[in-house]
A and B are shown apart, each in its own frame.
Chain A
Amino acid sequence: MSRTLVLGLGNTLLKDDGLGVKVIEQLSHHSLPAEIVNGATLGLSLLEILKSAERTVVVDAVDMGRPPGTLVRFSAEELLTLPESRNFSLHEIGLLEVLKIGQSLNEDFKNVIIIGVQPRDLTYGEELSPEVEARIPDVIELIKKEVG
Chain B
Amino acid sequence: MKKQRLFYVKIQRKVEKWCAYIILLLCIYVLAFQPVGFILDTIVFLFLEMLVLTPKEKRNLPLLGILSVATPFIIYTLFVYAINTPLPKGLFGF
Do A and B associate with each other? no
Measured CB to CB, the residues of A under 8 A from B are none
